[in-house]
Structure 1
Amino acid sequence: MDTASARCVAIRNALIRDGLYAELAEATTGTRWRLAPEPFLISAEDLASIERLGDHLLAFYRAFNQLYLDSVRGAQPAWVAAYLDQGKPESLITYSRMKRWRDQLPAVIRPDMIPTADGMVITELDSVPGGIGLTAALGRAYGQWSMVNGRSDQQEAAPQTLHASRFTPHAIVGGPDGMVAGFEAMVREQMARTPGGVAIVVSEEAKDYRPEMTWVADRLRDLGMEAACVDPLDLRFTEDGLWLDGPQGARRISLVYRFFELFDLPNVPKAELIMYSAKKDRVRVTPPFKPPLEEKLAFALWHHPALRPFWVNQLGEERSDILSRLFPQTWILDPRPIPPSAVIPRLTLAGRAVSDWRELAHAGQKERRLVIKPSGFSELAWGSRGVSIGHDLPQPEWAAALDRALDSFSTTPHVVQEFHKGRQFTLSYYDDRSEAVVPMAGRARLSPYYFVVEGRARLAGILATVCSLEKKVIHGMKDAIMAPCAIAQP
């Protein structure tokens, strides 16, 4: 077996031991993807930009949170809060507006970034992201090699670091333990020295992610923390707080890491008890129960001309310009008619302004390089479910997707977003059938993970997902290459 194939087999075996990779290709349970012999290399310049991006995105979340609160109290247009509350239950809206967590923000930030010929584009933000444990385990598996002339050689110990500024050339971004260290630092700060442990609560809807979050909990225990990945039913409620029963007796829960979506609350056992305990300050919860901060409508509000003064006032011209280059043009698919003299801002077809969404239904293939996405408060929001890519669909199917999105506005608002084509990369992966490393051309999605500690969003690792060229939507799948990012040699 050649060196590259042996590396892939060693990485695969490490992931199987971690319980994160299905041992057999035909297995009906577990996850598999294409394993590359090398990490995905990015330049030092790109890494520096991605590291700086964390604080830009944290500042955006702060401003976005403020925009919603200002809209609720009448200091900003009322339609902002109306859009963000659309389709949410009144009880959750009331709960999310409670004064005690008005300033709370997500403590984990993950943008999905597409490298294009014109630079990076952020297609969306995720504050309840999967992949934390996977990226951490991949970092450890690939981190057992050092990089020499762009290739990897096995080493006894890899450097450990959390901050990108300390990276050595060709190291895995964040170091082999950067993701675990970042998650631990975030959790400890969220717990604020209160006694008890952390419960990573994974719902049935998110059960596919339970193995990786169990792996994360195991690593936290290795670091001396009381931590467990649990089903909501495992929690025991008392008026004093939340508890977990175990061999050593009952353990108090200080922090719940919420790994379930807010749209799924009615199906999450004991969700109301978690919310009650948080309201009574018996437990801390992150991410907070604030649906506006998980909305895909955010980019549409960013690009709305009427809100530009607010964003610039909150973030400054320089930071606003940086984010405007990264956030693609996005519009809310609101079916209500607009006045005859008005047009939809910055939306054109063949150079002509658009005043009715249904004009898009008749656009030619080249003109409909657009993506329709559902609200973040929907079971369709995970993965590529509910996504329709205009130029990838026959015109009748595109028109039908547009009609469905407009018709569902009252319950599930949708957005339409400019499509940006990713750059082409050529990587290699281990083919099980031939037992050899083979090349694959594809397009990449980079998913940096930032953990908020001491008011800063710290980069801890980057997961690269590469799908073959015929795939229009890039996401984790069995035919995708998934690997951690490392710094390319100058």
Structure 2
Amino acid sequence: MPGFKELESAFASQKLFEEKSWQLSPAAFSLTEAQVVEIEAIGRACLDFHQGLETLYLRSASGRNLLRNQPLLAPWVAEYIDRGKPVWMTEHARSPGRRGQFPTVLRPDLLLTDEGFALTELDSVPGGIGLTAYLCALYADDAIVGGSEEMLLNFQRSLAGLRPEIENPIIGIVVSEEAATYRPEMKWVAKQLQDRGYRVHCMSPEDLFPLGGSLCFDHDGTPEKVDVVYRFFELFDWENIAGREFLIDALESGEIAMTPPLRPFQEEKLALALFHHHRLHDFWAEVLPKRSRKILQKIIPESWIIDPSPLPPGAILEGPQVGGHPISDWRDLAAASQRERELILKRSGFHPTAWGARSVVLGSDVSREEWGTALEEAAAAAESGPFILQRFRKPRRALHPLFDGNGEFRERQGRVRLCPYYFVIDREPILSGVLATFCPPDKKIIHGMRDAALLPARKT
């Protein structure tokens, strides 16, 4: 159990924590053995979901039937997903040569509720890899989920697996200016892996250049060929990436492997709404393994795509109700009571506000006027970048020890978000660490704020 001074010194000594602060705790966050087993199963379900989503999107985009033995066409699925995306990117995502390419890093956001876990997002470009690796080592004991090294080693293994023909491939972690706040963390990850003998480097897009058909970077004055690119930036940022044409050329020619793939349908939150869509029930039942479908049905909250298209007279929307009555326009929810507004509104993806909780609005946490304005903005954005509506599942209260300013600790109440990290190795998602964010109980939306504690998880 690390002490207060030990923790202060450890965090102060690391550049990856510059200008970042949070509450300190003497202990990792405890999970039961059953919870860890369930989290491991969630990883498999998330990868199965990605595989099913690929099938759904590609069949929708090509006008193919979704089911084996029954007619079911859904061109509207691809139409929703492709809104606001450049044509070349959707064509690339649909290319037969990209079939079967999935993110090698999976990180769902799981809220710990009275009913169990609630999966609010499935992130394919997550921050926190270095932070979680550091915390796992700092709090290391035999019970830490993933152990003290697995975050780092499995991250490298998942990337190296994209080029199995190369022993110890050169991996470039490419961090854009938009994601620059994570650059110190990724530099730390690269340095830790270099110290273990792996050829991993953190760089900016500007550091890459073509040479003799290869994609290279300057390593101590010598051009080095990159074999694998870990894309640490969102796809909406693509047009701001210097040398993006070099990346595409190297990818198309097979000179590099890249993950996450340039497939925007894998980074849209509206995929969670598609899972719950009543017209796709038979599709998910057919493509998902029974166990994974059961897990996803339990943990994914009801979600809907905000589409303001007018309905025929007498038609209603499948979704939340107002005063016990169904709605025919999503903006009708502006009249909902505070209790009925236990709903999360957020942008689906491919936009600067789609990450870091920047677009998230909890209806019950704002005034009716603010909620109405948010609904109007979501409806107005539907053609260029859809929003989704999600049933809010309130995290339950938990107890965990925290230090005060004098270095004394005592049990505090709070609410918890768990972020498990899975690295896909040989087509299997390997749970390698869990980052717990322990927030004060009055916080409705949980993220890495100054008054939260960031902790690894341990099995008890």
Q: State the TM-score bracket (shorter-chain normalisation).
A: over 0.9
Gap change, CA 1:182 and 1:12, over 3 Å in 2: farther
| CA drift at 1:346 | 4.2
Alpha-carbon contact 1:463-1:485 (below 8 Å) kept:
yes
Q: Which amino acid aligns with 1:336?
A: S
- Supply the AA of the counterpart residue of 1:428: P
Contact 1:198 1:255 in 2 (8 A): yes
Match of 1:435 in 2: 407
Q: Which residue pairs with 2:15 in the alignment? A: 19
Q: Give the equivalent residue in structure 1 for 2:69.
A: none
CA distance in 2, matches of 1:423, 1:18: 33
Contact 2:48–2:289 (8 Å) recurs in 1: no
**Selected match of 1:342 from 291, 308, 315:** 315
The question of 1:36 aligning with 2:1 is answered: no
TM-score by structure 1 length? Answer: 0.89
Shift of 1:426: 2.2
Please point out which of 239, 246, 257 is paired with 1:266.
239
Q: Which runs of 5 or more residues in structure 1 are unaligned?
A: 23-29, 147-158, 160-170
Note the alpha carbon deviations across 1:428-451, whole angstroms, 9 max, x for none.
22334x333354321100000000
The answer on whether the counterparts of 1:369 and 1:390 sit within 8 Å (CA) in structure 2 is: yes
Q: Verify the 8 A CA contact 1:15 1:141 in the aligned structure 2.
A: no
Greater CA drift, 244-253 or 49-58: 244-253
- After superposition, the C-alpha distances for 1:297-319 in whole angstroms (9 at most, x for unaligned) are 00111001111111110014443
Q: How does 1:401-420 map to 2 (within 5 A)?
A: 401-420=374-393
CA apart distance, 1:89: 1.5
Deviation of the 1:248 alpha carbon: 6.0
Partner of 1:474: 446
Residue in structure 1 matched with residue 50 of structure 2 by the alignment: 61
Which shows bigger deviation, 266-275 or 58-67?
266-275
Give yes or no for contact 2:435–2:456 (8 Å, CA) kept in 1: yes
How far apart are residue 98 of structure 1 and its match?
2.0
The residue type paired with residue 176 of structure 2 is S
Q: Which amino acid in 1 is paired with 2:8?
A: R
So what's the TM-score if we normalise by structure 2?
0.95
Alpha-carbon shift at residue 272 of structure 1 (Å): 2.5
Task: Tell me, yes or no, if the aligned pair for 1:174 and 1:460 is still in contact at 8 Å.
Answer: yes
Number of the residue aligned with 2:97: 100
Provide the secondary structure at the position in 1 that maps to 2:398: strand
CA distance in 2, matches of 1:485, 1:272: 41
CA contact (8 A) 2:302 2:391 kept: yes
* Root-mean-square deviation over aligned CA pairs: 1.5
Structure 1 residue corresponding to 2:421, chosen from 436, 441, 449: 449
Change over 3 Å in CA distance of 1:270–1:8 after alignment to 2: farther
In the alignment, is the contact (CA less than 8 A) between 2:321 and 2:340 conserved in 1? no
Q: Which residue of 1 aligns with 2:81?
A: 84
Residue of structure 1 aligned with 2:113, choices 107, 112, 116: 116
Q: How many residues align?
A: 451
C-alpha deviations, 1:238-280, integer Å up to 9, x for none? 3522111122622110000000000011112112221221011
Q: What percentage of aligned pairs have identical amino acids?
A: 39
Match of 2:201 in 1: 228
Task: Name structure 2 gaps, 5 residues minimum.
Answer: 65-72
8 Å contact 1:446–1:465 — kept in the other structure? yes
Offset, 1:338: 1.7
Which residue number corresponds to residue 339 of structure 2? 366
SS of the residue corresponding to residue 17 of structure 2 reads: coil
Give the structure 2 partner of residue 51 of structure 1.
40
Where 2:413 maps in the other structure, the secondary structure is: strand
Provide the residue aligned with 1:151 in structure 2. none
Q: Provide, for residues 143-190 of structure 1, a one-character-per-residue CA deviation record: whole Å limited to 9, x for no partner.
A: 1xx4xxxxxxxxxxxx5xxxxxxxxxxx11000111012112102202
CA contact under 8 A between 1:11 and 1:142: conserved in structure 2?
no
Q: Distance in 2 between matches of 1:232 and 1:439?
A: 45
